[in-house]
Amino acid sequence: MDVYTAIRGRRSITGLSDDVPSRAALDRIIQASVWAPNHHLTEPWRFHVLRGAARDEMGAMVGDRLEAELDPDDPASAPAIRSARVRLRRSPVVIVVSQVWSDDPVTNLEDYASVCCATQNLMLAAHAEGLATKWRTGDMCDYAACKDFLGLGQDDRIVGYIYLGHPSPSIGPDRRERQPAQVSWLGWDDTD
């Protein structure tokens, strides 16, 4: 698959089968991801690959911690706790992509951009392997319990949860098109 086909063909897919991709395929995908641009070669990315009971263990730990921390009278508390307990079951494999924090604000921003590029590489490599992905962010990226479960420092950043697996046969391809890029050509004339 050439790069243009991979870029245009990759879509976020929610419907995944229960089949677990091979560890070898997952390793190829992760090793491809780290070829992302990275200023000063800080290599700030970390990957935690969860499957099976590990997804439930993390969900239980986060749910228990939220139950202890959130106001039980707040109507938003119960749905947040319930969601934390089950959301990692949405795919057979979840890859948590995180960034090692830098105290230098410029390096930290550059590293965040690099980890985002690595995440896109990961998703394109998964697509090339015939797998489907969905990049999720939100509250789970900020919960201290998630960082504790993964052994991350509290200043480290969870960039996203990549839900990964084989696409469900009942889900057809996403045919949505993107709008053409808005481009300003400066210093070019019509003959270039």
User: Is 70 exceeded by the pLDDT of residue 181?
Assistant: yes
**Is a pLDDT exceeding 80 seen at residue 23?**
yes
Compute the average pLDDT of residues 24-52. 96
SS3 call for 167: strand
Cβ-contact 12, 134 below 8 angstroms: yes
Q: What is the mean pLDDT of residues 76-100?
A: 94
Task: Tell me what pLDDT residue 175 has.
Answer: 66
Q: Output the pTM of the full model.
A: 0.90
What pLDDT is attached to residue 180? 87
Q: What's the confidence (pLDDT) of residue 5?
A: 82
Give the pLDDT confidence of 109-153 residue by residue, as tens digits: 999 999 999 999 999 999 999 999 999 999 999 999 999 999 999
What pLDDT score was predicted for residue 86? 93
**DSSP annotation string for 44-89:** -EEEEEEETHHHHHHHHHHHHHHHHHS-TTSTTHHHHHHHHHHGGG
Angle between helices 23-33 and 105-128 (to 10 degrees): 140
- What mean pLDDT comes out for the span 76-95? 93
Asked if residue 77 lies in contact with residue 70, where contact means CB atoms within 8 angstroms, the answer is: yes
**Three-state SS at 97:** strand
- pLDDT band for 9, please (50, 70, 90 cuts): confident
Report CA-CA distances (Å) from 130 to 57, 90, 104, 159. 28, 18, 39, 24
Q: What is the CA radius of gyration of the chain?
A: 19
CB 64 within 8 A of CB 118: no
